[in-house]
Amino acid sequence: MTTYTYEPAPARPRRRWGRRLLIVFIVLLVVLGGLLVVADRVAASVAERAISDEIAKELVAQDVKSSPPDVGVGGFPFLTQVLSGKYESITIGLRDLEGNIEGEGVRVPRLDVDARDVSAPLETIRNGQGDVVAQTVNGTATIAYASVVALMDQPGLRLSERDGQLRVTAPLDVVGQRVTVSGTAELSVTNGRVQIRFRDLTADGLPQLPGADAVLNQYAQQISISMALPELPFKLDVKGVEARPDGLAVDAQALNVALNQW
C-alpha cells in the first residue's frame, strides 16, 4: 500500500513584496504631505511679513505710531487661498498705538484686529495694483485702567472690574471726616467717545450730617468723564465698551475695508 504525504505549497513572495511596496508608498505620502505642510507654512510666513510691512507704511502715512504690526493669516492650506484670491481671515495686532486725539484722550496699549472674508487677487499681490478688501473688520482696543485714572486726576482713586462692571474706590474727605467711597460706573459710547458715568456712590461710616450726600454726588460728577480715543486705523468705528480684568475693552467695526488703502 502506497502512502502519500501532503505538503503545503510554499508561500508566494509576491504578497510579501506587495505589502512592502504599500508600506513604502504610505511612507512617501506622509513625507510628501509633511513637505507640503512646511512649504505652506513658509509661504504663509512670507505673506505675513509682507502684509506687516505694508501696514507699517500705512501707519506712518496716517501719522499713527505703534510697534511693528503682528500679522497672522488664518485658514489652511494657505497656498490654495493664494490661488483663489480669497482668504478666510487675517489678524493684525498693534501695540502702543498713538494717534491724533481731540480733547481728553488716552493711549491704546493694544489693538487687536480680525479681518474676515478677505479678497486679494493673486495679480494684486504680485504687482501691488488694486485693493485687498475685507468684508468685515472687527477690532478690540484695550485701555489700561491706569490711563483712565490719570485722566480722572483724583489722588488714591482705583479702578477695577468686578462681575463685568467698572468699579471705583477712592478716599474722600466728607465734612471733615476721611471715608472710602465706592460704586460702579455706567459705560456707553456717544459719537465715538467712551462715556464713564458714576452714580449712587456709597461710603462706609458716612457722617449723618447735612450736605454729606451732596459731597458724594459732586465727587461722582468729578470722576465721570468723556474719553476720546486716538483715530483708529482701518476706518474702525467705536461701537461699544465693557470692563474686563485687564482694562476697558472698546469694540469697533468697519465693513468693506481696503486693508492696503486706508
User: What was the pLDDT predicted at 255?
Assistant: 93
Total Cβ atoms within 10 A of residue 112? 16
- Dihedral, CA atoms, 27, 32, 36, 39, nearest 10 degrees? 110
Q: Which of 69-83, 85-99, 228-242 has the lowest average pLDDT?
A: 69-83
Strand partners, 58: none
Do residues 109 and 95 make contact, with C-beta atoms less than 8 angstroms apart?
Answer: yes
217: containing domain: 146-227
User: What was the pLDDT predicted at 239?
Assistant: 92
Number of domains composing the chain: 1
User: What was the pLDDT predicted at 25?
Assistant: 45
Would the pLDDT of 37 be above 80? no
Cβ neighbours of residue 16 under 8 Å, at least 6 residues apart?
Answer: none
In a domain, 136, yes or no: no
Q: What is the mean pLDDT of residues 125-154?
A: 84
**Residues 110, 113, 116: CA angle, nearest 5 degrees:** 170
Q: Which of 5-14, 109-118, 133-142, 231-240 has the lowest average pLDDT?
A: 5-14
In a domain, 35, yes or no: no
In a domain, 249, yes or no: no
Task: Tell me which residue of 156, 246, 232 sits closest to 194, measured CA to CA.
Answer: 232
In a domain, 75, yes or no: no
Q: How many residues in total does the chain contain? A: 262
Q: Report the alpha-carbon distance of residue 57 to residue 70 in Å, rounded.
A: 14
In a domain, 37, yes or no: no
In a domain, 59, yes or no: no
Cell of 88: 478666510
Q: What is the mean pLDDT of residues 189-214?
A: 83
Would the pLDDT of 47 be above 50? yes
In a domain, 137, yes or no: no
In a domain, 200, yes or no: yes
Q: What is the mean pLDDT of residues 201-222?
A: 82
Predicted TM-score of the model (pTM): 0.70
